[in-house]
Amino acid sequence: MIEQEKEGVTYLTFPMLERTGLVTHAFSTRKGGVSKGIFATMNFAVGRGDDPACVQENYRRMAKALGVAPEQMVLSQQTHTTNLRIVTKADAGKGVVRERDYTDIDGLLTDEPGIMLVTSYADCVPLYFLDPVKKVIALSHSGWRGTVSRMGAVTVEAMQRSFGSNPEQILACIGPSICQDCYEVSEDVAEAFRAAFPEKDWPEILKSKPESKYQLDLWAANQKILLSAGIREDHLVSSGICTCCHSDFLFSHRATQGKRGNLGAFLMLNP
């Protein structure tokens, strides 16, 4: 990913998506906002204790940096499901400048230009999708539960079903999230992954440690899911950036024991 700075806001972008000229997108950092303390500074989390006025100002600043208005943004309502919502212009502003009328939504997709999809993170995996042929985008949140439930494949299937996308034409990007070295999990999580993936994939996804602990590779797991869903290898990129390793620059739940704000992923079809 490439680090960019506009209007005082620092964010990351994928060159593969930038080169298409079809979308405006970003993954936020902690830099450029107004929040204080554990939320410093660019926090998009509502309900974690930050001043709502600061969160609103952070959205305003990010919107300005990306050349849109907060009223164009639509925010997910994440609960570690694989539920998706097809977003239309009627949803504009929901979760950002007006109330949402939906719950339990971990992924958003649309074919409408000028609507910016927004999802939030602090170690879980952001998945960006662009079908440059059908002009469809999707943005999905995939923590360990979402990954076990194959959120990436669920999203690709929804793009096929709802918009006629061909998986071989979809560009997919895996955003900043926790790396394998930083992500220790227990036996029950490891068992869920063993049940969800072929045995040949286990050594790459799970590294055993003493006392029934494991290091889980969410990046590799999501890559395998996306490839199995029909995404071409040359249409798939991973940021390779760990939120936990870089918790001074990116919010990390694991690094701060939950004392943190949220990062934002942003994706819009250009008008």
Going along the chain from its start, the domains and CATH numbers come out as 2-179+219-269 (3.60.140.10)
pTM reported for the whole predicted model: 0.98
Determine contact, residues 119/108, Cβ cutoff 8 Å.
yes
User: Please, which pLDDT band fits residue 52 given cuts at 50, 70 and 90?
Assistant: very high
Give the tens place of pLDDT for each residue, 33-50: 999 999 999 999 989 999
> What are the tens digits of pLDDT across the range 193-244?
999 999 999 999 999 999 999 999 999 999 999 999 999 999 999 999 999 9
pLDDT > 90 in the chain, percent? 99
Q: 99 and 75 in contact (C-beta within 8 Å)? A: no
Instruction: Report the pLDDT averaged over residues 139-148.
Output: 98
Are the C-beta atoms of 198 and 133 separated by less than 8 Å? no
Tokens of residue 100, six digits = 């949402």
pLDDT in tens, 159-185: 999 999 999 999 999 999 999 999 999
Mark out the alpha helices in the chain (DSSP H runs): 15-20, 52-66, 144-148, 151-163, 187-196, 202-205, 218-228, 253-256
Nearest to 77 by CA among 51, 45, 55: 45
Q: Alpha-carbon distance 230 to 166, whole Å?
A: 8
The reported pLDDT for the residue numbered 33 is 98
Over residues 55-76, mean pLDDT: 98
State the pLDDT confidence band at 59, using cuts at 50, 70 and 90. very high
Residue from 12, 42, 265 nearest 140 by CA: 265
Tell how strand 136-142 and strand 116-121 pair up: unpaired
